Amino acid sequence: MKLDFTVFGRRALGRLLGGIAELFDRWQSGTEVTLALTSRHCREDLPRAEVLQSAYNSGSDFCWIKSPSLEVLVDWRYGSNESVPKVSGAIDCSSGRVRELTVLLRDLSKIVGATYGFCDLQQLVDTGTQLDPKARPTYSPYLHFPALYWYNHFGPEYRVNLVLDDSIRGLVSTIEPAEDGGLVVMTRANPQDRPNGQSLAALSALWPFFLDRRPSARFRRPVSIDYSEVRNLPTVERQAPLPPRALIGDPDEFIASVAARARSFTDWIEERGHSAKTEEEYLRLFQRYEAAIRDEMLVPAVAAYGEMVRTRMGGTWGKATFFNRGEPVVFRPGRPWTTRRVILEVLEGLEPKEL
């Protein structure tokens, strides 16, 4: 069975990514899962230590954690904003591993400093009442919960709103304290069991905070959550794109070494079983290996592409003299209108597009 889960937290997840990944490594019985950061072009071939260091230094990022049986997104944005750190995803789980899954969710909640979390069969989460996406970019932990699911984690800030007595315990399968001072509530023993509508209705009458049952759901007592750990960390400002010339360094040095750089790129693509002699063939390679080229082979790719253009047009390398002054370009002597800004053409070729 496939289950969806989301755990909202209060901690700096970029600095805790290693511990989060280890939880899912254990779920895979020792098989290491892959990590892919958005800031590193979602590359899955980078060493884990490098990915974790990038995540630690990133004030805003997304990390995909993947394996054959799970796909998880870790989302964090530091600084003065209303974004709430969260871990969400889908996981395949057999009936025999339900207990292990509850342990994983508890451990995950402990690491992220959970304020709220839930897990249920994918179709039940998909059809549940969702918060208005226009209201806030992420979960708003001030007024209500979306619904009651198979597994629910209520952080310590919310526990004061949850009245506990024997009648409450009789309406659910499990209700017990969490290590963080919160509360874990499981509405049924197994996710595949059919939800008991009468019990859920009775519980939502005693805990009137669930949006799918009560359109005007509100907490009885104010909820104040300490997000200072993430709010006090600096966010990383997005840098403006560098001009094409800045990407290749000294233009004279680049032009002098263009043949050797071009050979390094052709050797690189041949190692992967490819060759390219036309613009269309280069474009396909740029799309296929976009992330790796940006990280490792951008300057050699410009050199190889420029050499292909120069050969086909019978031109030469030079530097722009009027517009984009000093930028390495390819042109035919005496015909300035033939000038090709090959650096810009490579950058545009690397942009995602349908081929």
Rounded distance between C-alpha atoms, residue 106 and residue 346, angstroms: 47
Distances (CA, A) of 11 to 2, 96, 119, 343, 346: 27, 32, 20, 41, 40
> What sign does the dihedral 325-326-330-334 (CA atoms) show?
positive
Stretch 21-28: mean pLDDT? 92
Q: Among 256, 266, 251, 348, which Cα is nearest to 304's?
A: 266
pLDDT at 217: 66
Among 166-170, 199-203, 211-215, 259-263, the least confident range: 211-215
Rounded distance between C-alpha atoms, residue 176 and residue 260, angstroms: 66
Largest separation between any pair of C-alpha atoms in the chain? 92
Query: Chain-wide mean pLDDT for the chain?
Result: 84
CA angle 21, 24, 54 (to 5 degrees): 15
Residue type, 306: G
Rounded distance between C-alpha atoms, residue 180 and residue 263, angstroms: 58
Q: pLDDT for 159-202, tens place per residue? A: 877 888 888 888 989 999 988 888 999 999 999 998 888 888 88
pLDDT at 134: 36
pLDDT at 351: 80
pLDDT at 183: 92
